[in-house]
A and B are shown apart, each in its own frame.
Chain A
Amino acid sequence: MSFFKKHKRKLPKMPKAENINKEESSPNAEKENNKLVKDWENELSKSNDYKKTFYFNQKSGKKFTFTYIPTLIEEKVLDNNALPNLLEDDFYQISDVKKLLPIADVEVSTNKDDIPIKLLQGYVLVTLEGDRSGFAFFSAQKAVVRSVSAPEIEFSVIGPKEAFVESIGQNMNLIRKRLPIEELIAEEFTVGKLSKTKVNVIYIDGITNEQIVNTVKQRINDIEKDEIADSSYFTQIISDNGHSPFPQLLDTERPDRVASSLAEGKVAILVDGSPHALLGPTTLPEFFNSFEDYYINWILASFIRLIRLFAVIFSIMITPIYVAIVTHHYELIPKDLLVTLVTSRRVVPFPPILEALFLEVAIELLREAGSRLPTKVGQTIGIVGGIVLGTASVEAGLTSNVLLIFVALSALASFTTPVYQMSNTIRILRFPFLFMAELWGLLGITIAFCFIITHLLRLTSLGQPFMEPVFPLRVNDFKDALIRLPFQNQAKRPIFLRTKDSTRFSSQKAHKKKDIDE
């Protein structure tokens, strides 16, 4: 929290000096200021949760006012810390507030522009009757913070069980705890005309490439949007190609993943109100890596990564290949296999493409229904859909059971993608393949493949090539892409991040080996 407050204090201070001059020099400015006060007071008093109360100091008998928005503040602070001190102690002038209040964030100010901003940030405004020298603020924010819970989307059996929450202060705390170094920089931005969303751009000074950091800052500054609800808005607005189905920034709810990506030389973006951090630049293979891969032995991790790669290809390709072969090239299948296929398709009255579309759409419906329903009902839907619909449609002769197996397997395979945004992309990718397969069989699949590859080749993530390390080919970066080599082989940071310091640790030390019997 401390970091959070520090920034808040800094921000509105800047125009202070300028405003004092204004007030002293021209009476016009004061009038305008008064008008401004009236404006915000008018607006705020329309709401129910706006409070202005008078109290009297017991020693001086002076009247002072608290102005605040009760829904934003912690009343306990008023009752226990503020009121007893201000009521009972010597309170003669506004600057006494600093002496009297046992609260860290207290400020005496003369800039009336600040008032609405501060009130809406959870500060209490103190004014003293007869004292025109200024007014005071103290912070009494109510922190409605969900407690840190286990990650649900990126669940891992081994490893930390912390996930981000909606409060940016809490999330910063989770990251800072993992990287207690002064080089960890967090720059704050405010985005959104209405939502005034706080955004932190986090990177490690001396490691992360400055150009990439500047790109991120530039793009955040350029955002024209009234309201930001979540970090996923950012993925869409600031990514290099907003018209691509592929996500170009990695979102994660795991502080450990963010910390280790920062150490790698990436930039992280935290958005207030969003339990997901964004990481960039990323590459395509990273979307198929689960962070748990780092918590298990490198041999197992590499094996699991290869399984996932296979699953993705299988999931996209198998139904289109079925359609292509059954529609155009049944000669391709050996005789024995053909018998199985023909028997299963004998009663199906539809062409393969309709049969496949029917099942694929059914699976998509199940998925969508399952994800919109409460968990418990969702499970029932899964059983109803999976067993009843599947069996029934085969028995009714609407689909062949071979295809049913393929579609079910490909649905299963698509769930292995650890990043949710990417698994959505994979869901829709098979449809263009299906249509091309219907048109030209395997040739059509190749053409669709070429289109996708071209699209991926053209994509960049914060200006860095998305297909790295495959293209541009960088053999060194394969150490943590499709496979994961042991940690002692990861002494260099990824090339595509163009880090200022490319060495993570001395590889010689890590490699030192003893001879036999020494």
Chain B
Amino acid sequence: MSDLKGQVALITGAGGTLGSSHARAIAARGAHVVIHDIIADAADAVVDDVVRLGGSASPMVCDVTDRQAVKSCVDAVTAEHGAVFILNNNAGITGNNALIKDIDEDFFDRMFDIHVKGAFLVTQEIVDGMKAAGGGRIVNTISGCAHSGAVSGSHYNGAKGAIVGLTRALASEFTPFGITVNAIAPGVTPSGMTRVRLGEEGLAARAKQLVSDRLPTPEEITTGVMFFLAEEAAIVTGRVLNMQQPRKAEVI
């Protein structure tokens, strides 16, 4: 296992269930973790949690769709802690299982702005520092729905598919700079977002569709992120790790 001591990690949307799980794991390996969220209280709570567990963390509060806000935050992080070595573009909103007839222009634009433009802007703001420092690891959080087509909101799935394209384009482009770009595609995982979308009953129903009869824990999804961060994974780039579980034959 690689030691991340002395490295800086930035996780967007880290106030949420999956982002905070990634933050705890990365901090446990010694990195300073910048906990981004648009909600200050959410970021602060995760910072406190990481510090309580003996890790190092600081909050970053901004709207990822606002270039100037992202830039000033990243500049401040770099000045205080050094260049970002690990970036997890994880910020997102739920598609709320919306059908295409019910998705208005505002909802569509918000979906693509936060997921796609957000990942684009944050990556642009950190990549110069990463290149100058000689390398880095970018892991984008997408969704198994982008592969399977499962109904979760086609604007949500389409935005995640755009991030798959971005992942593969940047993997080619950043290879000469020692930067890998990959993505994890979790299946349904109990989280703040999936509870809003599916409810407790819906989550239980999803678990029954799986051969394992259970949904993953956030920590099990974090394992996918940690794989891409391993020193030994330096040649793995442009890949999407699909973490959906096998479904029972009778529900296919």
Q: Do A and B bind each other?
A: no
Give the A-binding residues of B (Cβ under 8 A): none
